[in-house]
Structure 1
Amino acid sequence: MKISDSKLYKEFPLFSTLCGPEDYHAKQLLNQLLLRKGYSMKTRKAYRGHAERFLRQSIVSVNEVSREHLNKYLLELIETGHSNSYINQAISALRFLFKNTLKRYDLPKHWIRPKGNKTLPSVLSEQEVLSLLDSLANPKHRLLLTLAYSSGLRVSEVVRLRREDLDFSRNLIHIRQAKGGKDRYTLLSNTVIDLLQTYMMTHAVIDYLFPGVQSGSHLSERAAQAVFDRAKHKAGILKKASIHTLRHSFATHLLEGGTDLRHIQELLGHADVKTTQIYTHVSKKDLAHIRSPLDPIMENPPERKKE
């Protein structure tokens, strides 16, 4: 298969520094296979990025890469302080490139992966959520963050909402082709319906609820994050948080309010309930009934022994 160098330079400019046509060919095949297998745009971008970074520093062409080259590169990632999740994604990308795309069966079948980092999500209190939303004077921005919290949406989902996704008669939002290519329904609160009606009276909503700068486009995820960052600063919230924290807060507050974990799983679109169970670790529902042993000691102190 002959590849046009000019076409590849234009399509993949970062590959202009690579070794030769074999690398261009590998990148093209990788992109085609990712598309055919239905990987999301984010995953395709991430896998291409890892492939580019590896091949850019490689002293040999893609067809000459050995397991020693791969091991050395992954060790360098560890030594330079990259997170375990980043390294795991790099392994997945390189494994896909060499095994699935290039059929390099001489390379390792089983890759040693670092253990995943076990971190708990940051959660805003109910008062912090109210302060955040109250800090927004712009109706579009207020609706954006209110929807993200009240429906437990990912930022990628909230910016892509269309008018047709809103089911006012059943108080539901139809989330189409979300993470993993799955559809689901989630809540449309009465408060949000009131905000939507006011918003649609003053904004010509033809397709996307939150249109972007270019005609026919939606608001970018980066712009939505910037809205959250400004609101967080204005509300005086000091804890580390992003717009995705609103989704974590939605799930945690539902759990604390007595909603069954399985229902929360469906609303969030988690394939496995184990993913949803992380919110049991940040919920104060059960912890609120447990007292520190210091409190009863201070309330009824035992007699101190006299020296």
Structure 2
Amino acid sequence: MTPLRQRMLHDMQIRNLADNTQKSYLIQVSSFARHFRRSPELLGPEEIRAWLVYLREERKLAPASLGATIGALRFLYRVTLKRDWSDEDFPLPKKPFRLPVVLSLEEITTFFDSIASLKHRAILMVAYAAGLRVSEVVHLKVTDIDSKRMVIRVNQGKNRKDRYVMLSPRLLEILRTYWHDAHPREWLFPGNIPGQPISRDAVGQACQLARKHSGIQKPITPHSLRHAFATHLLEAGTDVRRIQLLMGHRSLSTTSRYLKVATSTVCATTSPFDLLPRPEPTPSAPAAPEYF
């Protein structure tokens, strides 16, 4: 490990960045340095710009995928190398705004009915019933299920924040059935490696298999269930601020995007087409006489 890599790692650890963020940033900077075959200390804004053009034009990365690269380079040069560079030296492409595809209640039911494994069904039901991120679901421990207070404790979710979410009585029944079948000890959903929780990839694969068996044409990922959780709460009349707290969103604007897909918002207004006068029914032609 080079001294610069070690220094950047220490800077991230001091600022308590998430483990996944630290790994991602190191990978991004390493790729940047290998591309130019020089230490990042010898590279500047022109190389950064050329690197982003290469990723966009040659590697065909979407604008959203460049966020980790730009975040890593900003951290390296501004924090670790203490370069007094502006945001213009790290050009961030504008992301296209996309609304989530939301499953209906009927589709959610069909999806769950298509999951053969009790363990996988419990995992994906937790994602929907509590609105958790897949990383939060897989890191649940048995002790995080508080049936006396009817809450689930989410330890160190995104942005290193703890929060509580509701424990659905119906979900509690499912989890008890799963617990009596699997008897998990530490991790609520253990993986194949002893002492480790199930991986996010394994949950994603289970989700895709269930989607295939369900026959649902909409794309479904574990995160789709979190989208459905927020949208269905909003359609049921839950306050946006309360949904923000349950979802663990830092900004209310992130939660507010569900207003754009909730039927309680989109369908609450009458289309002007329905206000147009209906045309008078055209009189039907007299029936032709029958000769046989």
TM-score strictly above 0.5: yes
Identity of paired residues, percent? 36
CA-to-partner distance for each residue in 1:146-190, whole Å, 9 max, x for gaps? 111000010001111111111111211010110001000101111
Equivalent pairs counted in the alignment come to: 280
Of residues 266, 280, 290, the one that matches 2:245 is 266
Of residues 192, 195, 198, the one that matches 2:177 is 198
**In the alignment, is the contact (CA less than 8 A) between 2:49 and 2:91 conserved in 1?**
no
- Are 1:121 and 2:105 matched, yes or no? no
CA-to-partner distance for each residue in 1:263-284, whole Å, 9 max, x for gaps? 1011001121111001001101
Looking at structure 2, the residues matched to 290 and 118 of structure 1 have their Cα atoms a distance apart, in angstroms, of 23
The secondary structure found in structure 2 opposite 1:87 is helix
1:59-98 paired onto structure 2 within 5 Å? 59-80=37-58, 81-98=60-77
**In the alignment, is the contact (CA less than 8 A) between 2:207 and 2:220 conserved in 1?**
no
The letter of the residue matching 2:121 is R
Of residues 21, 26, 50, the one that matches 2:4 is 26
Looking at structure 1, the residues matched to 3 and 280 of structure 2 have their Cα atoms a distance apart, in angstroms, of 78
1:289: which partner in 2?
268
**In the alignment, is the contact (CA less than 8 A) between 1:67 and 1:108 conserved in 2?**
no
- Are 1:36 and 2:10 matched, yes or no? no
Looking at structure 1, the residues matched to 264 and 113 of structure 2 have their Cα atoms a distance apart, in angstroms, of 26
CA-to-partner distance for each residue in 1:206-264, whole Å, 9 max, x for gaps? 11110011221100010011111111111111112211000000000000000111110
1:132: which partner in 2?
111
Looking at structure 2, the residues matched to 26 and 85 of structure 1 have their Cα atoms a distance apart, in angstroms, of 27
CA drift of 1:87 comes to: 2.3
Of residues 139, 151, 154, the one that matches 1:160 is 139
Q: Identify the range of structure 1 (272-281 vs 50-59) with the bigger mean alpha-carbon deviation.
A: 50-59
Residue ranges of structure 2 left out of the alignment (5+ in a row): 283-292
Looking at structure 1, the residues matched to 136 and 206 of structure 2 have their Cα atoms a distance apart, in angstroms, of 16
Looking at structure 1, the residues matched to 193 and 76 of structure 2 have their Cα atoms a distance apart, in angstroms, of 34
CA drift of 1:59 comes to: 4.1
1:222: which partner in 2?
201
**In the alignment, is the contact (CA less than 8 A) between 2:260 and 2:266 conserved in 1?**
no
CA drift of 1:108 comes to: 4.5
Looking at structure 2, the residues matched to 187 and 301 of structure 1 have their Cα atoms a distance apart, in angstroms, of 52
CA drift of 1:92 comes to: 1.6
Residue ranges of structure 1 left out of the alignment (5+ in a row): 1-7, 9-23
Looking at structure 2, the residues matched to 71 and 227 of structure 1 have their Cα atoms a distance apart, in angstroms, of 40
Of residues 187, 208, 233, the one that matches 2:212 is 233
CA drift of 1:43 comes to: 1.1
1:185: which partner in 2?
164
The secondary structure found in structure 2 opposite 1:185 is strand
Looking at structure 2, the residues matched to 215 and 166 of structure 1 have their Cα atoms a distance apart, in angstroms, of 21
CA drift of 1:295 comes to: 4.4
CA drift of 1:88 comes to: 3.0
Looking at structure 1, the residues matched to 26 and 46 of structure 2 have their Cα atoms a distance apart, in angstroms, of 21
1:203-214 paired onto structure 2 within 5 Å? 203-214=182-193
The letter of the residue matching 2:29 is A
CA drift of 1:99 comes to: 2.0
Deviating beyond 4 angstroms after TM superposition, the runs of 4 or more aligned structure 1 residues are 107-110
Looking at structure 2, the residues matched to 44 and 202 of structure 1 have their Cα atoms a distance apart, in angstroms, of 37
1:171: which partner in 2?
150
TM-score, with normalisation over the residues of structure 2? Answer: 0.90
The secondary structure found in structure 1 opposite 2:153 is strand
